[in-house]
Structure 1
Amino acid sequence: MHIEIPLDVIVASAGGLTLTPAALPARPSASAIALADAADRLANARHPLILAGGGALEAAVELRELAERLQAPVALTINAKGLLPCGHPLLIGSTQSLPETRALVREADVILAVGTELGETDYDVVFDSGFAIEGQLIRIDIDAQQLMRNFRPDVAIVADARQALGSLSVRLHERPMPSRQGDWGAARVATVRDAVMASYDAATRSQKRFIDTIISVLPDVIIAGDSTSPVYAGNFVHDAPAPRSWFNSSTGYGTLGYGLPAAIGAKLAAPQRPVVCLIGDGGLQFTLPELASAVEARVPVIVLLWNNFGYGEIRKYMVGRDITPVGVDIYTPDFTALARGFGCTASRVDTPDALIAELQHAVLRNVPTVIEIREANWFEQVSA
């Protein structure tokens, strides 16, 4: 059905409109019985493990306290990156789709999943149904229906993540913890992380260097990513320094063009923080005119354009499956000229040192900056 409202009606005065405050539902409180059951299971666990998702973003302090109390390894979804700081000895990362991390999850006798859907976009991006939970499962979620999806829990706690984790910590603080086996906790995490890093190819390690370079210059940066090669790599290799610092469209629907408008929105929401849009040449052509919006609104986002002259990720998967590439080698314009035409500052870099210099200049500007990185040149210049 289509209803058209004439313009004169839209702009006419209207009476009888009463504005009332919206009624917001209260956050559910955790059941005391469920909390007691969960605390018992965690207190008696020999190999506890935590899976945390974006629903726990407001519970970073409580999550860390509980993980350290239990000496439990912690795996984070993409939206939960930063809940444990990078370098924390219990941080596995976001590698739940890789064999080494999956083996660790299977070894856990009690798993606490908090604020996570346990969906394939974070736990099975290779679509082989290889992620399995064999131990007891405790789930915390504010959505009662979500608790029963994908993996049915032994204990279901309908509650806000922060409140539930805090309550569990209080209960566990009053109880003695069993001695953990020496190969669990931080020691086991270190072994898994080393194995995962050794499994990465040269291109992935080079892209990690790319992201690490950004962080070295802009430690409080928000990176809004599109569906592009270094974002796919970063979902595995990058540990964000803080929550709400890494988000992208390469999980779920995998939309192209999301990165630029998302970065503009992030900068408007957090003007005090530098914001980087990490996008490919294919993706940028979907929303390229938004550069004009950013210039007009004086939103100084930094666009890092990863140029592999086409839909490089799709091309790679086609080749890997012995499919003749089709529709992936697209025409690529001169992006720096286009960016300047929109009123942006634009440049091209091939090395970490050049990228550092450009980022240092870009963060001081009050107009958008577009920095093009040609994939082949970066790989040639930057060894793993």
Structure 2
Amino acid sequence: MTATPSQTSNPAAQRTRPLGAQISHMLKDRGVTHIFGIPGVHNQEMYRGIEEAGLIHVLARHEQGAGFMADGYARASGRPGVCYVITGPGLCNIMTPMGQGYSDSVSMLVISSCLDEVAAKQGQLHQMKDQEIAAGTVCDWSHTALSAQAAYQLVDRAFTEFQTARKRPKHIQVPIRQLEGLAEAAPARPPARALPAQGEPAVWETLRNRLAASRRPIFIFGGGAAPQRDQMAADQKPDWLEAFRALGGASFATYAGRGVIPADDPLHFGSYLARPESAEVIGSADLVVAVGTSLSEVDLWRDHLGHRAELIRIDIDPEVLSDAQRGDIFVCGDAAGLAQGLPNGPLNTTWTAEEVAKAKARWRAQTDAERPGIVPLCDALKDAVPADTMYYSDMTQFAYVAKEVTPMDRPHHWHHPYGFGTLGYALPAAIGGAIARPGLPTVCIIGDYGFQYTMMELATAVELTLPLPIILWDNGKLGEIEDSMVRAQIAPNAVIQQNPDFLKLAEAFGANAKAPQTIKAFQEDLQTALKADRPTLIRVTPDIHSGD
């Protein structure tokens, strides 16, 4: 390999090291600061260069936790989350987070070791039939690097695609012998890639003309509608937002798109898109524009959006543009180009703030009736924490209510396992998010059952002295599954579990533990937890009341 000019001027870059160490140096050069993982005999060579390169390693208690931490870190920072894992069980354990990241468009790079030979040699430690294929079922791509050059090219390919395409996890595995072998340094960092073209001018002109002729346009904004976190300040608004709000068009947000449109916009229906009645509202529109959303099952919980008018779709992913919610007109590009397609000045629309407010009040009441007692907790949570709080929630009834009723004034501040729907996501993901935003508030919301999937990661949060409130919704059962069984006329079965003493458990890990009996005490415990020198488990039950 020929050294580049930047390498010849840098004595450290000329050193020959084991490939495992060179990979760490390469990642540092590409802007990586943290590695999440667990060392083992099969990936120890990847750890040789971590300290020398100046990387910070976060030790998880399980590879699933490491993957979720990387996920949470990536969502909070806008930068890729990187994991080091071992062969066999290490890779299998992280495949659930990889699947979650694939579903939710998260930039995660998983680098694992692999055995040098599996066809002619059986019974080896951590042996699998085919690691590459197994990982490839839950990520964007999975490849084996059989040389140092291949490893470097694959790393740069991953980072290039994180910049220019839909963000999704990648997996690179390197044979143990390759990791141990000497290699020259990786080439210099390639120049930053530009985002894809924002669509042809004629397409944006078509959108302007359609909007100008519309009297009842409605927009649906997904998580892809917001500028990426690494391209904007936390409270910065999209360039097109002011022009959009001047139009007088109505809007919905998917759960992932909350905060793209400020919650105080009088024509914003919020994140009630999954309410059945929203189909009627959308059906009353004479033009529908969907921006940065796949309009998937977990966005709608119905087969059809409900539109009768023309549908225009704007998305970076060509696959989305040809799915079951196929648009009549589509733009394959980043949502930033929307600024080119909005007319100047207000339209003569028929939407009114009154009809939007009535619909939101009605849907909020429905949500409260379906899962009683949680809406006041959601309101109390929102009132008790700073405006720039970042939330990580799990598959729990508390989160299902909060995703609908809790307004967000900025995007990329509520993270949830939307598509894959994994239990145990919130705690390790919140740890990753807190690492990415030191000094800024992060809150975890998790259920009593899901907490037991990844509760061992409390030890990591304690080690890192993270001021992380962990709101544990403890109803003593799989409440959502019980309700689903009842609706299906199935006698509830296997939905009641014996829980541990969560407060003593948290204290055993070295965390603080609280059990507020009133909503006021709940708020006080939250505020104290955000200032603590360690995580705080706040156990909340359906018996909590609003009195003093």
Residues in 2 aligned to 1:277 and 1:177: alpha-carbon distance in whole angstroms: 40
Query: What aligned pairs does 1:126-275 form with structure 2 within 5 A after superposition?
Result: 127=302, 129=303, 131-162=305-336, 164-169=337-342, 172-173=343-344, 178-181=347-350, 184-202=351-369, 204=371, 206-218=373-385, 219-249=387-417, 251-275=418-442
Does 2:212 match 1:39?
A: no
Q: 2:313 and 2:206 mapped to 1: Cα distance? A: 12
Q: d(CA) in 2 for partners of 1:112 and 1:130?
A: 15
Q: Tell me what 2:263 maps to.
A: 86
Letter in 2 for 1:14: A
Q: CA deviation at 1:152?
A: 2.0
Q: Does 1:67 find its partner at 2:236?
A: no
Count of aligned pairs = 369
In structure 1, give the amino acid aligned to 2:264.
G
Letter in 1 for 2:504: A
Q: Is the 8 A contact 1:276 1:301 kept in 2?
A: yes
CA 1:213–1:40 in structure 2 vs 1: closer, same or farther (change >3 Å)?
same
Distance in 1, Cα, partners of 2:195 & 2:389: 33
Matches within 5 A, 1:277-296: 277-296=444-463
**Contact 2:248 / 2:348 at 8 angstroms: preserved in 1?**
no
**Matched residues, percent identical?**
32
Kept in 1, the 8 Å contact 2:226–2:260? The answer is: yes
When residues 9 and 152 of structure 1 are mapped into structure 2, their CA distance, relative to the original with a 3 A threshold, is: closer
Q: Give the CA deviation at 1:300.
A: 2.2
SS at structure 1 position matched to 2:462:
helix
* CA distance in 1: counterparts of 2:427 and 2:304, whole angstroms: 34
Q: Which piece of structure 1 moves more, 29-38 or 150-159?
A: 150-159
Per mean C-alpha deviation after superposition, the further-off stretch among 187-196 and 39-48 is 187-196
Partner of 1:348: 515
3-state SS of 2:183 partner: coil
- Are residue 77 (structure 1) and residue 254 (structure 2) matched? yes
Residue in 2 that maps onto 1:50 = 219
Q: Shift in Å at residue 277 of structure 1? A: 0.7
Using the TM superposition, give the Cα deviation of residue 206 of structure 1 relative to its aligned residue in structure 2, in angstroms.
2.6
CA RMSD, 1 decimal: 2.3
Shift of 1:205: 5.8
Residues 1:10 and 1:78: Cα distance change in structure 2 (over 3 Å): same
The aligned amino acid for 2:339 is G
**Does the 8 Å contact 1:57/1:83 carry over to 2?**
yes
CA distance in 1, matches of 2:217, 2:175: 62
Distance in 1 between residues matched to 2:318 and 2:294, nearest whole Å: 12
Q: What 5-or-longer segments of structure 2 have no aligned partner?
A: 1-87, 89-113, 117-173, 229-236
Given the two structures, how large is their TM-score scaled by the length of structure 1?
Answer: 0.89
Larger CA Rg, structure 1 vs 2: 2
Q: Which runs of 5+ in 1 are unaligned?
A: none
- Could you tell me the TM-score, scaled by structure 2's length? 0.63
Question: SS of 2:415's equivalent?
Answer: strand
CA pair 168-185 structure 1, distance change in 2 beyond 3 A: farther
In the alignment, the residues of structure 1 paired with residue 279 and residue 501 of structure 2 have an alpha-carbon distance, to the nearest angstrom, of 43
Offset of residue 134 of structure 1: 0.9
> In structure 1, what is the equivalent of residue 98 of structure 2?
none
- Tell me the SS of whatever aligns to 2:256: helix
For 1:8 and 1:100, locate their aligned partners in 2 and report how far apart those are by CA, in whole Å. Answer: 59
Distance 1:118 1:245 in 2: 20
What amino acid is the match of 2:322?
M
Q: Secondary structure at the match of 1:36?
A: helix
After superposition, the Cα gap between the structure-2 partners of 1:158 and 1:130, relative to the gap in structure 1 and judged at 3 Å, is: closer
CA distance in 1, matches of 2:370, 2:355: 27
